[in-house]
Amino acid sequence: MSIQPGQSIPDAPIQVIDVDMQQRHAVELFARRKVLMFGVPGAFTPTCSNKHLPGYIANHDALQKRGITVMCLAVNDAYVMQAWAASLKVPAGLLMLADGNANFTRALGLELDGTAFGMGLRTRRSALYAEDGVVRSLQIEAPGELRVSTAEAMLAVIDA
């Protein structure tokens, strides 16, 4: 079962890529701030690279003006996430979360079994809005869709 609105972000180690790479704990990362974290099945995959992450890049300023920190979660290693961020020119402050062993993904209950496609365990395509470490909204995509977890959809949820 996935995390639900009203629940606190679980603690798990996570690699954070911004200007540099650092190991952090999720509870600390979400504390005392508004966070919009979107999960993607994988760096460099077509929908993630052509639509999902680019939408958050395009809307990063609008989210920052609302005081929201944007984070992208994927079950990839930190070096892959760093290369993906560089390839798409991810702006400073849009944090890339590398969950190489899927510890945080599993703690959130957002795992996706992609073994049938040769991808192993991944993060479900989703978006989560939290304030001070408490989930306020969670949107999980149906298989093969990109509607409810886009930056535009989440802006509408936050502004409602």
What's the pLDDT at 107? 97
What's the pLDDT at 121? 86
* pTM, entire model: 0.96
pLDDT per residue over 26-80, tens digit each? Answer: 999 999 999 999 999 999 999 999 999 999 999 999 999 999 999 999 999 999 9
Give the separation between CA 112 and CA 119, rounded to whole angstroms: 10
3-state SS, one letter per residue, for 13-66: EEEEECCCEEEEEHHHHHCCCEEEEEECCCCCCHHHHHHHHHHHHHCHHHHHHC
* CA angle (82, 130, 35) in 5-degree steps: 35
Catalytic site includes residue 48: yes
Over range 105-120, report the average pLDDT. Answer: 89
- Identify the residue whose tokens are 């957002």: 110
Domains of the chain, start order: 13-159 (3.40.30.10)
Average pLDDT in the chain: 96
Catalytic residue among 40, 48, 110, 151: 48
Give the separation between CA 76 and CA 134, rounded to whole angstroms: 25
Sign of the alpha-carbon torsion through 81, 53, 129, 120: negative
